[in-house]
């Protein structure tokens, strides 16, 4: 069982203290296909849970990335600007998008654990 939490919009979140690292799930990157561009938020930007925070573009489509919890951006993954394909090769590792200092850790209770997310994805196919 992983320490990841997932949103209905296919973002994942991993917490370390009061900071959460956020990216998109393997399922989401597979649906997108080859990622060619990522637009990241600015450090210092604040987002409410569910707000659009970033954009990912692939050869198939562009898709919004939503903040699965509210907080302030404290870091972005600059490596994605030079190598957006990291999202495809390591979606839940090196392909992370940004880190948030969480406003309210209780918001994480609304997210799915990995087992529930896998069941959710299976229902989409």
Enclosing domain of residue 9: 5-122
Residue 1 in this model has a pLDDT that exceeds 60: no
Relative to beta strand 5-6, strand 62-66 is unpaired
**Considering its fold, how many domains does the chain have in total?**
1
User: Can you give the CATH number for the domain in which 32 is found?
Assistant: 2.40.50.100
Residue 2: predicted pLDDT? 61
Distant-in-sequence, close-in-space partners of 109: CB < 8 Å, separation ≥ 6? none
- Angstrom distance (rounded) from CA 38 to CA 83: 9
Question: Which residues are bridge partners to 107 per DSSP?
Answer: none
Per residue in 31-54, pLDDT (tens digit) is 999 999 999 999 999 999 999 999
**How far apart (Å, rounded) are the C-alpha atoms in residues 92 and 77?**
13
Whole-prediction pTM: 0.95
H or E element that contains 16: strand 11-16
Decide if 25 contacts 11 (C-beta within 8 A): yes
Q: Are 102 and 40 in contact (CB under 8 A)?
A: no
19-24 sheet: strands from edge to edge: 5-6, 11-16, 19-24, 98-102, 71-76, 46-47
pLDDT at 125: 77
Which residue is it, tokens 């989401």? 28
CB 23 within 8 A of CB 38: no
Q: Quick one: what percent of the chain has pLDDT higher than 90?
A: 94
pLDDT in tens, 48-96: 999 999 999 999 899 999 999 999 999 999 999 999 999 999 999 999 9
């Amino acid at each position: 069982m992983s320490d990841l939490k997932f949103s209905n919009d296919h973002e994942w979140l991993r917490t370390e203290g009061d900071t959460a690292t956020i990216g998109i799930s393997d399922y989401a990157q597979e649906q997108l296909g080859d990622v060619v561009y990522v637009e990241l938020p600015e450090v210092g930007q604040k987002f409410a849970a569910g707000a659009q925070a970033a954009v990912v573009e692939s050869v198939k489509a562009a898709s919004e990335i939503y903040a699965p919890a509210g907080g302030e951006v404290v870091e972005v993954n600059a490596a994605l600007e030079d190598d957006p394909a990291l999202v495809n090769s390591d979606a839940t590792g090196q392909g992370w998008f940004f880190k948030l200092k969480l406003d309210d850790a209780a918001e994480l209770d609304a997210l799915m654990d990995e087992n529930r997310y896998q069941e959710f994805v299976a229902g989409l196919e």
